[in-house]
Amino acid sequence: AYDVRIDVADDGVLRWLPEQVVSVEGSHLRMRTTVELAPTARLVLREEQVLGRHGEPPGTLATRLTVRRAGRPLLDQELSFGPGAPGDWDGGAVLGGHRATGQLLVVDPAFAEKPVETRLLGEHAVIAPLAGPAALVTAVAPDALALRRLLDTALAALAPL
């Protein structure tokens, strides 16, 4: 289990960019990240999951990201991959054969006046506005390096904090 709790006070800025989590064959990992933001707090949060080492199947991985701003829900997202995960987690509608997935969340009060516009980043990532004010980037990629490049591109576009 991997549990992280983050609190960001008024006028605080946090860039939480941990390294990638690799779900190796035979592992069973549950990750939970909970974030509480004050009304004027800013946040850049990146999560990256790599499903198996090169040439091996993944272990079981369940992640949950819960973010509240000023006490109100901003994002509550749960993902599951690997043996025993519900649904067709590896099918075309979810990963389409890719082995890396990740998200980048940027919360900035400036987005209240000028929200982020929904747009694609290549074929495998999307930037979407969230009420809050925030933007969420969701990406899949064939490997860890390609995923990091996608999320770094999004980070440069969204968060010059």
Q: Strand, helix or coil at 105?
A: strand
pLDDT at 11 over 90: yes
Query: 67-103 pLDDT, tens per residue?
Result: 999 999 999 999 998 888 877 676 655 677 788 999 9
CA dist 58 and 23 (Å) reads 5
Please give the sequence-ordered ranges of beta strands (E in DSSP) within the chain, or none if there are none. 2-8, 13-16, 21-23, 28-37, 42-51, 60-69, 72-81, 100-107, 119-120, 125-130, 134-141
Mean pLDDT of the chain: 91
pLDDT for residue 93: 58
pLDDT for residue 160: 61
